[in-house]
Structure 1
Amino acid sequence: MTDFAGLLLPDRGEPAHRLTPVAADGLDAWLKDQPAQVRALAEAGRFKAKPGELLILPGRKDGEWSAAYGKAKAPGPWDIAAIAQKLPAGTYRIDGDGGDDHLPGALGWLLAHHRFDRYLAKPDPIPARVLLTRDAAAIAPTVALAEAVALVRDLVDTPAADMGPAELADAAEAVAKAHAAEFRVTRGDALDQGYPMIAAVGRAAVRDRAPRLIEIEWGDPAHPRIAIVGKGVCFDSGGLDLKPSSAMLLMKKDMGGAAHALALAGLVMGARLPVRLHLLIPAVENAVAGDAFRPGDILRSRKGISVEIGNTDAEGRLVLGDALARAGEDKPDLILDFATLTGAARVALGPDLPAMFANDDALAAELLAAAVAVSDPVWRMPLWADYAEMIKSTTADINNAGEGGMAGAVTAALFLQRFVPDATPWAHFDTFAWRPSARPGRPKGGDALGLRAAFAMLRARFVTP
């Protein structure tokens, strides 16, 4: 993983290139205060102080230079990511008034240095650009956030051949060991008996990619208990309802929910939030073989709800159902789950905006406020109870897909809600976990969407200012 620790350092007055933010509506006033040479450079370079624009300014001595850049109207994590990507290696200081001068953009600065280059014979070297900040207390939390986002990206970007259920368990064990947490994996007969839907979805995979439930527990049992659940479908062929090749192409990312859940658990433990954490990741491969589960099958579930299989490609909600049931047995104060669950959510909201469902208005409001505060947007969708009719079954308690295909994200969330205790506040993130095109600080590929919002909510809820 990229080492972010040396890229954001306390400002102790050492030499550094100065970076001056300039707002577009203040450009004329700024230029009036500059020497003629700077005004000429700005005109020649057509510098309009738009976000992402950079103007290099020569210094008085050889090798000295500074820069002006376009300032965004509202500060956010990606404000200076584009600038960082354009700068050479070196040490930089952003002009400020001595206040919160590390900027929310420090996260984007760090992530501009992240690359997934595991499979490249000759990776392009990334210039090390060090940002100095007078807010030393902000360094460690910002680095932790960058590492969490990078973990999601790296796990999602790894091809399914190298990121099966066993490798996902290894990644979770590494996080558990880093925080001295309890770690366990349930598989084989114990999985068959205790988590029948997880076992059924994953049973067609070859032996070394067998299904399993991964769990981490951490924290003082006397503290409020929270459960974080992540869909870990390491590859989704669609099962016997086989996906077309175009839809299967990105299915290495179908464990993106698990990546989010694991990264969030790492943030919770790293920040030592006063909670009893329970992480659950049902890890499977939805493969095709003679013993694959079939359309029309009726599966038992851990909670005792019988499920008719309307579509084997709606497997994520099945494995989540058993994991959510297990999470609810310990009576947590809060359950969050993350899943790359439905194409319907992407049709409704596009790739950048995770659909968020919640059975508790106060929890939903906290998540939405946190999302705005940290510029990690989510959008609340309705748990519209009337649509439960769409996933009724005549032969079982519920159907995993139903008929008609309408309101697919809503009916998937309603399915999951059946496995959550009624009195437990619960939020479900239907996230894409993927960026289809590159943006500053956010390369094409796996990405964390909703992660920082969820962590900000947990920090606000459980840490007294």
Structure 2
Amino acid sequence: MLPCLVPDAVHALPLHVVTPEGWEHLPGAGFAKASGFTGKPGEIALLPGESGLGGALFGLPKSAEGYGALPYGLPEGSAWALQGGDAFQATLGWCLGAYRYTRFKPGKRAPARLVTPPGGEAAQIQATAIWRARDLINAPANHLGPAELAAAVGNVAAAHGAAFRVIEGEELRQGFPAVHAVGQGSPRAPRVAVLEWGAADAPLVALCGKGVCFDTGGLDLKPPSGMLRMKKDMGGAAVMLGLAEALMAAKAPIRLLLLVGAVENSVSGEAFRPLDVIRTRKGLTVEVGNTDAEGRLVLSDLLTYAGEHAPRLILNGCTLTGAARVALGPDLPALFCNDEALAGALLAGGLAAGEPIWRLPLHDGYANWLDSGIADLNNVSTRPMAGAIVAALFMKRFVPEAIPWAHLDLYGWNDAHRAGRPEGGEATGLRAALAGILDFLRSTDKSTS
């Protein structure tokens, strides 16, 4: 159980979730009204009791994140029992708002705690997965390299009875040559973490995560400002790992394959170079137009491996392009998808979860922008346009056409503190993907039965 939750209501105070109309009859409402409380969304009013604090009123928020103002908006050390509101939304939002990254510095204060209401269990599952993803993204790169990221996958696998292995060394060089090429410049060796879970007769869902633990840009070196947050370049892997954890904890009726390409894109005499030609697992050769477009190279091998297992769907998550952020900003992951049913399920899942995503086109008219004179394709285009689309088109080359595939280009970070979204690492798209995947599988099972 997360530390912001308590299992019982022995010493809990009532937390009344109200709308602007109909709260005046509650005990202490006169005091709240005299204090200026109106019941607008997100507004908090403490109520007096016989021996001090007697409860609180809280204006029904517009989203789960709105409940995130409560853990630090209510007195430290207090415990609260929900009266009204939606149990799932309240539990999820409370947990999202209570999160702080405290590995190296204790929090300034402890959050108020919520008695887990009936119906809040599913929210705990999601919140636990989100906390894990946030912790991984927030971890400094000197404390989270490829080995540590792979170990994090192993920890989740062990907790849920999943099979786990790590591909490294000569096996990686031969079987995942693009992953090896990206990571060969770092003294912290690259590796691929593989998690498998579920019954053999269940539909297979393949998740692929870009796990670049730090991205200098390689020999096409980023400027200092561009490198400042590159510890979060493994955000796609963190989100996919969190998604896998949520699916396993919920005992989803699926078989799961999670692949994390854990590498560091460093500068050294061993680093791959601009205009190198590298081989991929699929057999296609790639001319390196820019060493800072390394994430798509890592994913090319993972997508090929996933496709070899003929899954029902493939989903990859990655902090891939600045172009997606220019187009959509930090909160909206860009969705690229080769299947209308899967795209519709993910878009609907995002809206249902209160975490919208936005679809961009896989416009084949730009595919020849990746042409190379000496290899099967280049990893970048020479044209300074449509960068997110071109990156998606590159990865599309490594996915079997018959397999539904979705690509989430996400930010993985909150630039400033908001209710339910503390500044720092964020599991962007996790809730949307969780809802969308399960809905897609349900709908396709019905259509084939």
TM range (shorter): over 0.9
Deviations 1:180-228 (A, max 9, x none): 211111111111111111111100101xx10111111111122111110
Does the alignment pair 1:67 with 2:56?
A: yes
After TM superposition, the structure 1 = structure 2 runs for residues 65-464 of structure 1, keeping only pairs within 5 Å, are 65-72=54-61, 74=62, 76-88=63-75, 89-96=77-84, 101-120=86-105, 122-133=106-117, 135=118, 138-206=119-187, 209-462=188-441
> Take 1:231 and 1:216, find their aligned partners in 2: how far apart are those partners?
15
Deviations 1:45-69 (A, max 9, x none): 433433222112223x223512222
Q: CA deviation at 1:408?
A: 0.6
Q: CA deviation at 1:128?
A: 4.1
Does the alignment pair 1:52 with 2:48?
A: no
Q: Conserved in 1, the CA contact under 8 Å of 2:4 and 2:98? A: no
Q: 1:41 to 1:130 in 2, by over 3 A?
A: closer
Q: Conserved in 1, the CA contact under 8 Å of 2:68 and 2:98? A: no
| Identical positions, percent | 48
> Take 2:235 and 2:16, find their aligned partners in 1: how far apart are those partners?
38
Q: Conserved in 2, the CA contact under 8 Å of 1:227 and 1:277? A: yes
SS of 1:78's partner is helix
> Take 1:212 and 1:30, find their aligned partners in 2: how far apart are those partners?
57
Letter in 2 for 1:117: T
Q: Conserved in 2, the CA contact under 8 Å of 1:91 and 1:132? A: no
Q: 1:124 to 1:5 in 2, by over 3 A?
A: closer
Residues 453-462 or 418-427, more deviating: 453-462
> Take 1:457 and 1:447, find their aligned partners in 2: how far apart are those partners?
19
Q: TM-score when scaled to structure 2?
A: 0.94
Per the alignment, residue 23 of structure 1 pairs with: 19
Q: CA deviation at 1:113?
A: 2.2
Letter in 1 for 2:46: I
> Take 1:49 and 1:178, find their aligned partners in 2: how far apart are those partners?
42
> Take 1:227 and 1:65, find their aligned partners in 2: how far apart are those partners?
50
SS of 2:52's partner is coil
Letter in 1 for 2:252: L
SS of 2:289's partner is coil
Letter in 2 for 1:204: G
Q: CA deviation at 1:90?
A: 2.5
Q: Conserved in 2, the CA contact under 8 Å of 1:219 and 1:275? A: yes
Q: TM-score when scaled to structure 1?
A: 0.90
Structure 1: where are the runs of 5+ without partners?
none
